[in-house]
Amino acid sequence: MKQILIIDDDIHIGNMLEEVLIKANYKVSRAYSGTEAILLLSSERPDLVLLDLMLPGLSGEEVLPKIKGIPVIVISAKLDIDSKVNLLLAGAVDYITKPFDTKEFLARVTVALRNATTSISTVLSFGELSLDTMAHSISVNQHEVKLTRTEYAILKTLIQNPTQVIPKSLLLDRISEDTPDCTESSLKMHISNLRKKLRDVSEKDYIEAVWGIGFKLKTE
């Protein structure tokens, strides 16, 4: 059963959406503010998000870029074209203007979920780590982490091989296309910097060195 997260502080509209979705055999969860939504998304991963713009705390516009790898339909009373265009360019897959017909609403939900299922995923995940290969972005628990080109290439290689120890020579070979200037002597420094950046936002050490061999992602 597909799960849909409704982010809307309007109780009546939220209840109406929830009722319609449950009747259509969807599982529904709710968040009533932008801050609550970010907290909820750190512990669960719905298949689709319905996002209102006028939220207490973080606004819908602020929440949208923090949602990684999950299709988002914006639901708003804003009618101007610029708002719609900006939100679609910012990552929303659709924009529904209030008030709306429930049949059309369900059709748009179906299409968004179908497109998400059939499209090739650009997001790689490992625990709380999320790497978007299309946007070249990294986030931990919805918090974006700024990485250098070399650090990104290293982490991407490790996430693509989450259970394997990657020898130093193979790691250098895999990332050489993206970062030809990385050498075996500088690799240790790049990984040290990468581990520190990830640890700063998560208080976890995601990468471990396997003495005499290489590196791997650290499992609990």
Query: Hey, which residues does 143 pair with through a beta bridge?
Result: 140
Residue 220's pLDDT is what?
A: 64
- 87 and 24 within one domain: yes
pTM score over 0.85: no
Residue 117's pLDDT is what?
A: 65
CATH number for the domain harbouring residue 161:
1.10.10.10
- 208 and 131 within one domain: yes
Q: Which amino acid is at 170?
A: L
Domain boundary residue among 103, 118, 133? 118
What domain range is 141 assigned to?
A: 123-217
Domain count, the chain: 2
Instruction: Kindly state the average pLDDT of the residues 172-193.
Output: 85
- 200 and 136 within one domain: yes
Residue 180's pLDDT is what?
A: 75
Domain boundary residue among 90, 118, 146? 118
Q: Provide, rounded to the nearest whole percent, the portion of the chain with pLDDT above 70.
A: 97
Return the exposure string of 80-94: e unless at least 16 CB atoms fall within 10 Å of the residue's CB, then b.
eeebbeebeeebbbb
Domain boundary residue among 118, 152, 181? 118
